[in-house]
């Protein structure tokens, strides 16, 4: 590991600050990993939805990646929004040289329901990027797409997890069960064993950016040398606190609180 833990995010933006690159960098900073970023798409979005998307030209994405990879240490990295196949091909080619943990947040749809990835690119992601991962972190709808089956309960989450790792080639998978009824349970499968992470559901609509924040927290903790289980366990606590102390900002789904751990310390 570097003298300071260094984490890279490759993703799209969110000018309202709750998701995407902005959420990733806030999370890295709060968890004391040095954050770096490569922007794939500039997204005009807020708590109510996505207004417009501009994809960064491929040559600029390449130059961003080359600038970071040629000069900076990377202890773990994540990808978020990668909108089309050309971007995926370029990123896949570049990241194979990074022999560090790779966390994929398979961003397909925003919290508002807006599509963030071309439909044909979803198949390419599943077939070509997924096998490169150390961990993939789909929510229920993303996991259902990956295995092409509906997921409605914990047992089906476990069955899907096995397919994503054993059949599709992911290094490990964390399926997030936040959209099921009852307690919020996530299932981690590492190819050998299952681990469940369960917390009491927090009654709030302010969940904008939770997927980005969760995967960024895992990336930060892995960059610091933690095991996969330790990183997920601590990231689950972080994102739960971020939801608990979320902000009622905007007219839609408000953002999570990236300095929620400070709030917890204050309460104590």
For 33-87, give the DSSP string.
-EEEEEE-EEEEEETTEEEEEEEPPHHHHHHHHHHHHTT---SEEEE----SHHH
What average pLDDT score do residues 221-248 get? 96
> pTM for the complete prediction?
0.95
Give one word for 84, left, alpha or beta, with left for phi > 0 and alpha for psi -120 to 50. Answer: beta
Task: Compute the C-alpha angle 195/260/186, nearest 5°.
Answer: 20
150: phi then psi, degrees, rounded to nearest 5 = -75, 145
Cα separations (Å) of 21 from 62, 146, 202?
A: 17, 24, 25
Task: Compute the C-alpha angle 40/108/68, nearest 5°.
Answer: 25
In sequence order, the 6+-apart residues with CB closer than 8 A to the CB of 232 are: 135, 174, 186, 188, 195, 197, 218
**List of domains in the chain:** 6-267 (3.40.1190.20)
* Averaged pLDDT of the chain: 92
* pLDDT higher than 80, residue 111: no
pLDDT of res. 117: 73
- Residue whose C-alpha is closest to residue 45's, from 16, 82, 83, 80: 16
* Strand, helix or coil for residue 229: helix
List pLDDT tens digits, range 59-91. 999 999 999 999 999 999 999 999 999 999 999
* Strand, helix or coil for residue 15: coil
The residues assigned a catalytic role are: 176, 207, 209-212
| Beta strands at 6-11 and 76-79: parallel, antiparallel or unpaired | parallel
pLDDT tier at 263, thresholds 50, 70, 90: confident
In sequence order, the 6+-apart residues with CB closer than 8 A to the CB of 221 are: 31, 230, 231, 234, 235
Task: Compute the C-alpha angle 42/17/229, nearest 5°.
Answer: 100
What's the rounded Cα separation, in Å, for the pair 197 and 177? 10
Is 257 in contact with 263 (CB distance < 8 Å)? yes
What's the rounded Cα separation, in Å, for the pair 202 and 192? 31
Find the distance separating the first CA and the last CA of the chain, reported in whole Å: 33
Share of the chain above pLDDT 70, in %: 95
pLDDT tier at 221, thresholds 50, 70, 90: very high
The helix (H) or strand (E) run that includes residue 102 is strand 102-104
| Beta strands at 6-11 and 34-39: parallel, antiparallel or unpaired | parallel
């Amino acid at each position: 590991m570097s003298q300071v833990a260094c984490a890279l995010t490759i993703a799209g933006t969110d000018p309202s600050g709750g998701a995407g690159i902005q959420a990733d960098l806030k999370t890295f900073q709060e968890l004391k990993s040095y954050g770096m970023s490569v922007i794939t798409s500039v997204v005009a979005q807020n708590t109510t939805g996505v207004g417009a998307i501009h994809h960064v030209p491929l040559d600029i994405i390449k130059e961003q990646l080359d600038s970071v990879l040629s000069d900076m240490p990377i202890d773990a990295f994540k990808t978020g929004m990668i909108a089309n196949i050309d971007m995926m091909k370029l990123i896949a080619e570049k990241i194979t040289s990074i022999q560090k943990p790779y966390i994929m947040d398979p961003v397909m749809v925003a919290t508002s329901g807006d599509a963030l990835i071309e439909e044909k690119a979803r198949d390419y992601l599943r077939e070509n990027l997924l096998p490169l991962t150390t961990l993939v972190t789909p929510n229920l709808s993303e996991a259902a797409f990956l295995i092409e089956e509906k997921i409605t309960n914990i047992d089906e989450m476990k069955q899907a997890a096995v397919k994503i790792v054993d059949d599709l080639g992911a290094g490990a998978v964390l399926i997030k069960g936040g959209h099921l009824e009852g307690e919020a349970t996530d299932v981690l499968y590492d190819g050998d064993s299952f681990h469940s992470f369960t917390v009491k559901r927090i009654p709030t609509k302010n969940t904008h950016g939770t997927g980005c924040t969760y995967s960024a927290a895992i990336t930060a903790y892995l960059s610091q040398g933690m095991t996969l289980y330790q990183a997920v366990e601590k990231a689950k606590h972080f994102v739960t606190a971020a939801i608990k102390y979320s902000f009622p900002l905007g007219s839609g789904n408000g953002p999570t609180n990236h300095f929620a751990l400070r709030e917890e310390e204050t309460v104590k």
